[in-house]
Amino acid sequence: MKNNFGTNISMTIFGESHGPCIGITLDGLPAGFKINLERIKEDMEKRKAKGSISTQRHEDDEVEIVSGFFNGYTTGTALTILIQNKNTQSKDYSDIQYRLRPGHADFSAYEKYHGFQDYRGGGHFSGRLTAPIVAAGSICRQILETKNILIGSHIEQLYALHDAPFSNNIDELKKQIQTLNKKEFATLDEQVAQNMEQAILEAKNEQDSIGGILESAIINLPAGIGEPFFDSIESILAHLLFSIPAVKGVSFGAGFQMASKKGSEANDAFIMNDTIQTKTNNNGGINGGISNGMPIIIHICIKPTPSIYKAQETVDYKTKKSQTLNIKGRHDPCILHRARIVVDSMIAFGILDLLMSNNANNILEKEIQHESQDHTI
């Protein structure tokens, strides 16, 4: 099992849903960056399960940084974050240990790990592992913001309901991102948010679940970041985003809508507006795998939560006989509103990794150390 990713910086996740703790290690961060711990708490709050539209498994999610952090600053060595699991109910899974849950990784895990995997709560496959990703992503976002690079997402679609799209005006888009980053249920239209929450409750009452699409934006990323082919911005970000449990689709800019456009409609004309920009942004701020200075726009499809309370057909892996599955436990009727901060965090890590090429890393470290010079001896 490989649990790490990154080139210039790397992240390694560890732990299981019902184990003693979960965590993440960030390696390669620049030394001398002052971490805002309150900001980490704020981001963790956005992921927390709250109210009747989320699971009733409530965790404190207190972040403990056990290495790579001293007197409020990064040391430049590996930074490790631990989060304790305090509210587990493993007995909910003992009765269905061998019954393969539709939509989950149970069958594929048995085939790969031959029964040695931790099945409780999905083990290492659980969305619980996204908690440390949010903590690490918060640090990455803080570093990016020193370069005025902002990231934000909203619920573009939940089941059959649609939010207003991001603005094509960069100044207005910045305001939208700043507003969304203060919200727990991230939509641009407040009435749509109420309708979406009601739709989640209706799915819950039907013992079912729903999914949807997140629209994410990155602004102020300089032109020229990324590589052609294998380390393109799309390649890196798609790799990371598909690593989030429940993500089933990722597209950039107009994405699959390009299929119904002609070249004259899909091409983004260049214009001069103090700097070179494009008149439209069908390519989502990326040409040839490299940023062109326009906002990077990403659409991420999140599938409905697979754990539902309706009876489902399945097979007992041990007996190889057909069974009826009735899931117990505590599960989200929708994870879209909690997943948005996970998406932002993964994007932040990917963009920081891309920025920290040799030249970018030197520039970034000089700026951080200059801002931290009052702290030095």
**Three-state secondary structure call for residue 89:** coil
Q: What are phi and psi of 346, to 5 degrees?
A: -65, -40
Q: What is the pLDDT of residue 351?
A: 96
Q: Where are the alpha helices (DSSP H) in 119-186?
A: 130-145, 170-180
Structure tokens belonging to residue 288:
């040839």
Instruction: Say how many CA atoms lie within 13 Å of 118 toward its Cβ.
Output: 15
Structure tokens belonging to residue 21:
């703790």
Per residue of the chain (377 residues), what is the pLDDT tens digit?
678 899 999 999 998 877 788 999 999 999 999 999 999 999 999 998 788 888 776 767 899 999 999 999 999 999 999 999 876 665 666 677 888 888 888 888 888 888 887 777 666 777 788 999 999 999 999 999 999 999 999 999 999 999 999 999 999 999 999 999 999 999 999 999 999 999 999 999 999 999 999 999 999 999 999 999 999 999 999 999 999 999 999 999 999 999 999 999 999 999 999 999 999 999 999 999 999 999 999 999 999 999 888 999 999 988 999 999 988 777 889 999 999 999 999 999 999 999 987 455 555 666 666 666 666 55
Domains of the chain, start order? 4-370 (3.60.150.10)
C-alpha distances in angstroms, 1 versus 43, 83, 238?
A: 28, 21, 20
Q: What is the pLDDT of residue 217?
A: 98
CB atoms within 10 A of CB 229: 8
Q: What is the pLDDT of residue 360?
A: 55
Output the CA angle 196-198-200, nearest 5 degrees: 75
> Which candidate, 251, 243, 266, 275, places its Cα nearest to that of 343?
243
Q: What gap in Å lies between CA 234 and CA 185, rounded to an integer?
A: 27
Q: Global pTM? A: 0.92
Q: What gap in Å lies between CA 328 and CA 333, rounded to an integer?
A: 13
Q: What gap in Å lies between CA 326 and CA 308, rounded to an integer?
A: 9
Q: What is the pLDDT of residue 54?
A: 81
Q: What gap in Å lies between CA 73 and CA 33, rounded to an integer?
A: 5
**Three-state secondary structure call for residue 319:** coil
**Amino acid, res. 227:** E
